[in-house]
Amino acid sequence: EVQLVESGGGLVQAGGSLRLSCAASGFRFDDYTIAWFRQRPGKDREGVACISLSGGATLYTDPVKGRFTISSDSAKKTVYLQMTNLKPEDTAVYYCAADPIVPFLDFGLTEADFGSWGQGTQVTVSS
């Protein structure tokens, strides 16, 4: 059974940094694609960043480019989202998601492409 557990959320001031972690289990880690999504208050869930664990390719959506970095540690079976220069509009519940085959390089980051999801972690950025 695929399990994803997010951690690292919290309250931070604008301009600050946080690192989110997504601990994965129940599947062959290096064969999957893992993404971070977020749901801001009153908004639909949206993609943030994605990494192919087999090839290392990454993708970032425009609101976070240059500020967020996605990375992975195969030994720990964990994917990270380093968030810097945080803004109040980054306030959201952040989710990690996984699936074995996601053509994100061709078609972008789409929620429907991911079959397994974590429970989410709250990030609040104060102004």
Per-residue pLDDT, 55:
85
Is the dihedral angle over the CA atoms 110, 45, 123, 125 positive or is it negative?
positive
Structure confidence by residue, pLDDT tens digits, 25-49: 999 998 999 999 999 999 999 999 9
Position of tokens 């600050």?
16
Per-residue pLDDT, 52:
95
Per-residue pLDDT, 101:
81
Distance CA 89, CA 33 (A): 26
Structure confidence by residue, pLDDT tens digits, 100-126: 988 888 888 999 999 999 999 999 999
Q: In sequence order, which residues have a C-beta less than 8 Å from that of residue 66 and are 6 or more positions away?
A: none
Q: φ, ψ for residue 62 (rounded to 5)?
A: -55, -40
Per-residue pLDDT, 107:
85
Mean pLDDT, rounded, for 78-104: 96
Instruction: Tell me if residue 120 falls in helix, strand or coil.
Output: coil
Per-residue pLDDT, 96:
98
